[in-house]
Amino acid sequence: MKFREYRTKQGLTWSTWWRWTMVAAGAIVLCSCRTSARPIAPSTSSGDIPLANTVANDLSIPTNGSLPPTAWSGQYPPGCRQWTPPGISQPWPKDEYICDGGDHGRPIRIDSDWTVRGIQMEDTIAHFDTLDGRTLVKPSNKVCIYAPRFGSVRSVLGADGFEGKESLVRHDIPTRIATEEEMLLANTTLQQTQTDRAVGSKRIAAQQLNAPGLQIANDLGLIEAHGGEKPYENLLSLQDGMYEQAELAELAMRTEAAAIWTIDKGVQVILDGTAAKIATGDARAQATYAIDHESKPNLRMIKVASTDVAQPGQIIEFTLQFENIGNEPIGNVTIIDNLTTRLEYVPDSETSSLAADFITTRNEGDSLILRWEITDPVSPGEGSTIHFKCRVR
């Protein structure tokens, strides 16, 4: 209390809020600071894209036998790992592994004209169009193969210099000036040439045009039509779909048996694979059913390799398997694999279980960007498997 009086007497009432403002500002700065060398955790920014461990587990689910049992998903099983320093993301050390798959660095985005932005080497993604006009991108898992390669640099040290001194030597040889003249006589040469080409013309002798006559015959047989309502269907609601109050009593009489049905034994309505709920009416003939349709387009892509270690010159077979795990068809499905520098695509080694246009483009690492454009839309639950081979450089 004395301090407050003293402070008021000295005219320093501003100091309290000023100090607390400074403390708050410092706390905000502290909260916003980050260290640049934070350990990299496994990326989970891809939403529902499974992690590598999850992919390994997913390989145990039925995959129609299209994936080899020895497929390498990029992760070692527990208990079969080499020593690694704690807190460092796998694989380690990174300079001994060739990695392919995933989406590194800035997220890949697709322009309105399907131009791919931000794709880097080692990236493997799939993009597709949804029914509502969106273009979504889904990366695959990352596969790393142990394949170290060695290089060497050399320096040679030694006495390479030589320094010598020589005396000057003068050499003088007098020469006489000489003149040379040559006289040439003018002459004329004639060359006789004979005609080697004759030009003539011919008239058209005859021209005949034969056009066969056309005869069109079209016979249509009689078609017998069957149809009509049965006598017991003489209701306006069945004929025109309109309900009249006068027919309600008759309808109630005919659906009397259905009135004793329980809910479980009653009519179950399924629209587009989704259980429909009753919207209007009761257990009556004119009940209206409806479903809540929520758009959930999604795609899952798994990438595996045929081996986990490789020597330079060895050929590795990669398998890309994608599946529409959404609830609606997707179109313009495009698979893109930007190979790393040390992977060289083996020509004519790719196969796809679905019809696709295969396009290759040279990338900045003197390797290739592989691109599969699936021609037909992919229905929910449907997928494809792509195989291709690469040689380790």
Partner 1 sequence: MVYLLRRLRVAMRVFRPLRCERLAATFVLCQMAICLTMAVPSSAQVVHYRHNSEMPPGAIGTWQLQRGGPLPGYFQPATISAPDGCAVSLATAGTFDDLQVHSRRAAFLIGQVYRLKVTQIPLHEGVEVFPTIEIIDRIYPPAGREFEFPIQIRITSDDLRQAMQGRLVTRVIYVEDPRSALPAAERPNQQYAFDVRKGDDPLQVADTLGRPVAILRLGARVPGPQGATARFLFGCPVWMVIPEGRPTKRAANAEDSRKVHQ
Q: Is 346 in the site for partner 1 (CB under 8 A)?
A: no
The residues, ordered by sequence, that sit 6+ positions from 391 with a Cβ below 8 Å of its Cβ are: 313, 314, 315, 316, 343, 344, 346
Does position 29 bind partner 1 by CB under 8 A? yes
Residue span 373-392 as binding mask against partner 1, x where in contact by CB under 8 A, dash where not: ------------------x-
Whether 297 and 128 have beta carbons less than 8 Å apart is answered as yes
5/27 Cα distance (integer angstroms) = 30
Please report how close the Cβ of residue 16 comes to partner 1 at its closest, in angstroms.
Answer: 9
**CA gap 103, 43 in Å, rounded:** 10
The answer to whether residue 121 forms part of the interface with partner 1 (CB under 8 A) is yes
- Size of residue set near partner 1 by CB under 8 A: 58
- Is residue 243 part of the contact set for partner 1 (CB under 8 A)? no
Separation between Cα atoms, residue 343 and residue 390, nearest integer Å: 6
Segment 246-265, which members bind partner 1 (CB under 8 A)? none
Question: How far, in Å, are 54, 160, 220, 239 from residue 327 at the CA level?
Answer: 22, 76, 47, 35
In sequence order, what are the residues at sequence separation of 6 or more whose Cβ sits closer than 8 angstroms to the Cβ of residue 10?
none
Contact call for residue 337 and partner 1 (CB under 8 A): no
Q: Give the residue, chosen from 61, 80, 225, 253, that forms a contact with partner 1 under the rule CB under 8 A.
A: 80
Per CB under 8 A, contacts with partner 1 among 158-197 are 158-159
**Cβ proximity to partner 1, 3 vs 232, nearer residue:** 3
In order, the DSSP letters of 175-239 are: --------------------------------------------------------GGG--HHHH
Q: Where does this chain touch partner 1 (CB under 8 A) — which range of 147-155, 215-223, 260-268, 293-301?
A: 147-155
Rounded to 5°, angle at Cα 349 from 96 and 66: 85
Between 159 and 168, CB nearer to partner 1:
159
CA atoms within 13 A on the CB side of 148: 8
Nearest distance from residue 155's CB to partner 1, in Å? 4
Among 82, 187, 208, 280, interactor with partner 1 by CB under 8 A: 82
In the complex, the smallest distance separating the C-beta of residue 149 from partner 1, rounded to whole angstroms, is 5
209 forms part of the interface with partner 1 (CB under 8 A): no
List, as own/partner pairs, every contact residues 9-16 make where C-beta atoms lie below 8 angstroms and the sequence separation is at least 24, other chains included.
none
What is the contact surface with partner 1 in residues (CB under 8 A)? 3, 7, 10, 12, 15, 19, 22-23, 26-27, 29-30, 33, 35-36, 76, 80-85, 92-99, 121, 146, 148-159, 308-309, 311-313, 340-342, 344, 365-367, 391, 393
